[in-house]
Each structure stands twice: as C-alpha cells, then as structure tokens.
Structure 1
Amino acid sequence: MHSHVIKLWRLRGVFTTITVIRCKAAVAWEPNKPLVIEEIEVAPPQSNEVRIKIVTTALCRTDLYFLSESTTKYTFPMVLGHEAAGIVESVGPGVTEFKPGDKVIPVFLPQCRECRFCKSPKTNLWKRCSRLNIFSRLTCRGKKLLQFANTSTFSEYTVVNQIAVAKIDPEAPLDKVCLIGCGVCSGYGAALNNARVEPGSSCAVFGLGAVGLAAVMGCKAAGAKTIIAVDTNPDKFHKARVLGATDFVNPNDHDKPISQVLSDMTNGGVDYSIECVGNVEVMRSALESCVKGWGVSVIVGYTDMHDFAARPIQLLSGRTWKGSKLGVTWISKDGVPEMVKAYMAKKLNLEEFITHKMTLNQVNDAIELMEQGIGIRTVLSVSPQQ
C-alpha cells in the first residue's frame, strides 16, 4: 500500500495529514468476467465520510447477481463486496461518532436517524438509499469505480458515508462478525422480525445457503417445534441440522409439488415459510406451503429480473405474503452492533457458516465455489488487522 499527501484538514482543533491511498482491490471491469486484482486509488474521506481498512470480507450471492446481470442501477467498472468488517483509518469533517482505530461493519442499508423510515420501528429502509450509490472515492487507471451497495469491500480500503457504518465491540473477531453485515442478519431477522415465528410452530426454509441457514437458526431461536429444511442439495442438510432443522426435504425426491409434500407432512401446511433462493417459482411454492387461515410466507431471496405471481385465493384464504431486507427491523447502525453482542455472548453461531477461508487474490476461486454450490460462506482476508 502506498499513499501521498494531498492536503491538511483541521479536525477537532488539530491539523491532520490526509492522503490518497493506493491499495489492492478486485475490480469488475465488465459483467460476466473474472474480477481483476488492480492497484486503485482511494481518496480521503470528505464531509461526513469514513475511510475504512477492510480486514475481512465474505462473498455473498448478491455480489454474483450484480456481476452477472447488467442492470440500470449498477454499471461497470465497479468494486463489489458488501459483507465485511474493518477498522477506521481516517474520518472526514463532521464525523464525531467514529475515530481511527474503531472496529466497524459497513452496512448497505444506511440509517440517518432523521427521515420518516429511520424514525419508524417498522422498517430498516432509508428514504434516500439509492443516492448513496452515486458517490465513489475509488479510481483505477483514471476511471471512477462505482461504489457498490454503498460499501465496495473487495478492496483493502474503502470510503463510506458515516450513516452506513456501524461501530462494534472492539473485542469482536472480524473474520467472524463480517457475516453479520448481510447474510446472517437477513435470514435470522426474517424469522424473528418478519415472520415473527412463535414457540411450538412449524416452519419451512427454502434454500440452505448462508441466508437460509441463518433463517433456520432464527426459527430455532424463536422456539419453533418443526423446522423443515428444503433444498435440492442434500449435502447441506447436515449444517441445517446443526443449526436447528428437524426435517429435510429434497424436492427432486418427490413426484408432486413441494407445497403438497409439506402440506402432507404438517396436516395442511406450515405456519411459516421463508424463501431464501431468489427464484420466483420457489417464492410461490413457499407461499402455497403455508397453512390456510394464518400462514405467513416471507421472501428473502433477491431478484429484480422477473415478475412473480400467485392465485388470489392463496391470500384470500388468510395467508400473508411479506418481503424482507436485512431482517427488516435490524435497523443497520443500531441492530448490527446488537447482533455482534449476541455473538460475543455465545447466543449466535457464526462458525458453522464459514466453510472456506481465502485471500482477496483468490476471489475468483471463491466465486467459482459459490457458483458450484460448494460450501456456505467463503471469508476473504483482505488486509492484516495490525
């Protein structure tokens, strides 16, 4: 890593040297192509911004989604990555909540604590979320690199607005709690906060990636009696069992719709279903797997490329269909530190999610593992902690 001085800023009454940092990052120059390890420039944080040294980052399937799909929201070149943990390197003018040396998790859902959404306990969405995707302090070969999901953590350093950073326990192991930045909160929170799983209930979780396994863990924490893990890869059933699943169904083993299979297993359908695949057909199956009258189905899997549909009678008969983003009421800057505390208190299992550890240089190998359905979460070592 190299840097050079560009200016002096007066922060808290002291003149501080602010530098451009040259460091390593995995750059996506175009869709459907391998990432390229490049030397990039990371400009100093501007007003209300925080520059973070990324220590560890995990690969999430959403990164692959935006690498493989050309959308109007995200263009190339860009630096992917949004599930990470690191250490504050420097702060811009107006930042009082953070200081160099703080351990933090960047969050893709900001929390300004001022807008209508941030003031509501019913959501963790932010009114102006998309606007944060416009700025970027990252450049390479003279080109601006898009700031992905407000974070861009496939880089040794990144700059994030302070409303998209959560300060965490200074004793937290960054190679574990990085998972709280997305996958674990998304699945765990969907079970507890969106579905509101009740003690003694029956649940079905569709898809046993990191998000689905976290949903299984959330169903268990909520006291569900029956937790059915649904996946076409039976190799994932062991992890699901460790995290709380009681029954296992591979749709390929049956010649009738999965909704009928689950209905037969649960005397008319499960109380709660959680879809963690991002497939519109699976979303419908998850809804139809719920019991009439009170069944609740939550969509967690991400897709924005296809419409989904169901017969109105599925809802007219009393079912509820909901969506979830980062576990909805895990409000980012407030909720993420609480999840870290839960892990530190041994109330949250993160180790079971980590199946591979690699370096940032091996990011394309990690992508290949995920595309092949091998493992759950690969954690990439980006920068040394000290």
Structure 2
Amino acid sequence: MRVLICPDKFAGTLSATAVADAIAEGWGGDTTLVNTTLVKRPLSDGGPGFVEVLAGSVDGRLVPVPTVDPLGRPVDGEILLAGPVAYVESAQACGLHLLTKAERDPNTTSSYGLGLLITAAVEAGATEVVIGLGGSATNDAGAGMLAALGAPPVDAAGYALPYGGAYLNAAAGLGGEPRLRDVRLVAATDVDSPMTGLHGASNVFGPQKGASREDVYRLDAALEVFAGVLERAFGVSDLQNQPGGGAAGGIGAALIALGGRVTSGIGLVTSSIGLEHELDQASLVITGEGSFDHQSLRGKVVAGIANGARDRGLPCVVLCGRNETGYREAAAAGVTETHSLTELFGSEEEAMARPAEGLRELAARLAKQWGSL
C-alpha cells in the first residue's frame, strides 16, 4: 500500500511540513502495517509556505531579503532563485499571520513589503517572477506593492495616498512607472475570485482580515475606483472581473494590470514537485487544511488534490481543523471522507492548542481503517 500525504498548512498553528510529519507519525505508529509506504509531499496553494514547499524540490537557492509586514514593521523574508526564475511569497510580507487579531484592519494594512521582495528578485537578475498569493492581511489591490516598485497611487493633486485600501477612493493616478525591467510576472493564486463585487476581495475575504460590514462596502468601492486607475495607467480593460484578480486582497488585479499571467497556485506547485506521478502511484491520498469550507473548493490545495484523486479513482481523505463543508459538496469534488480536530477534541480551542497531537490520533485511526486496502 502506498499512502500519499499531501496537506496544506493549518493556518495559525502548523506549517504544511509539520502537518505532513504529524500525519505520517500517527499512521506509522501502527507497527502491523509493514507493507505500507508513506510518501510526504507538503503543499501550498500560493499562500504561506509557498517558497518553503518549492525550495524542497526546485533546484535553486534561497536568498534572505529584509522586508516589512502589513503595518510597516521589519520582518525577514526570502526569495527562491532557480535560474532565471524567482519565486516570491506574498504572505511573508502581507500575511495575516503576521498580525494579532487586534491589529487586523484592511483599511490601513499595506502590500508595500511584497514590492520590496519583488524588487529584490528583479535586482537579482530574474527575468520571470512567480508570486504566490494567499493568506494576506491586506485589501489594497497591490497599491503598496506598486509604491515600493516606484509607482505610488496619487490623488488628483498629485500627492501620494496614505497606505491602506480605504484611501484608494481618492486615487486619481500613479506617481511613476513600476521599476520591473521587463520582467515577466506570474500570479500563482489560491482563489479565482474577481477584484470587486459580491464575490470579490472585499466581500469574501475582508471580514476575516478585520473588516466590518461598513468597511467591506467602503473597501469594495475604493477598489472599484483603483481598478479604473490601473486600467488607464496600463491600458487594460475589465480589470474588476478578471478571475484571480481578487487574490490576496486584490494584488492579483494589480499583477494582471502589469501584464502578469494568472495561474493556479496549487497547479504550479504540484507540477513543480512531480505530484502527478505520486498520485499515479498512490493507493490512498490524505490531504487537508486548517479550515475546510466553501473556499477550499475554489482553487485551494484540497480541491486540487481531491480532483486528482477522483480522476484516478482513488480514495481521498481530508483531515482538517474544522469542517464547514457539506458531504455532497465535498463528495462532488472527490473527497471520500472528512475528519476534523474540532470533532475529535470537542472544541475549537483544544483543536488550536493541540493540532499535531490530534492529527497523529486521526492518522492512527485511518491506519486501522484503511491499512488493509
């Protein structure tokens, strides 16, 4: 039997690598399963862990880059250089995990730090920069990123706007040209959401970043204004409705305006690490993430893995922190069964406090259930 363990991170608790390790430890604790091979392939859909996961399989080198968090405080980042291609992770600078709950405010958080990471990649000589998008605390449609690249949003009088999504309602243009040296950009997204509207960045993801209902309306309107600025500045059209434009608080839309190509983050990662081959060899697939909900089935890790397992007729088990997806919806995506830490422990607090322990216990149960497959 060959068990493929390929989870995403459990946001706020464990990295994808730590999740895979815990599952393997739990399954391997049953010494009766001598004919089982465990294959660990931690994954990322473009969000936190994107660079770490790729660094484990792509022939390249990690380069430390000092940057700033969504509130402008210094943080350590890194880029992965693989020949002419550089891989950058937006969450290293814009990540929600960099802020406390009290600090979350998408009205004022900025993507400026991502611009510093991209600048470092350009200065290192990359001709293509692949930017993993996901897990962001920002809703500024890449305005901060553009400022760091030399094209800050300005008002009608030509003054640079304060950082944050809420101030984009006064945007009238850009105060310069982005310093990109004709580098090709690729946006590796974790969602296919558009920039604005009911399914856009502000409405869908704003609340988890600290936005009130009033904030959501304000931010969506501000992004609509900024979309017009980007369209005029870069000669693009219909920017608000482009799939993936809503990724990372609208950073996807800014990258599209800059001529960037949108691709599936999970698709890029799975291709880079040879996951298709591993799926072909597997008997059982175990994947998962912290919160298994309706967003999970819109371009995230679980959806990509479950679809691949379904196409091969493989059972696919999801282990998660909490499960908010209906059985039929999950089954249609290729999920055989789902087990959550909140069900195991009886509370979200315990699940957050003891994730590795819980995953080991769930994996041990799966070993007894599926070990004779």
TM-score, structure 1 normalization? 0.31
More strand by share: 1
TM-score, structure 2 normalization? 0.32
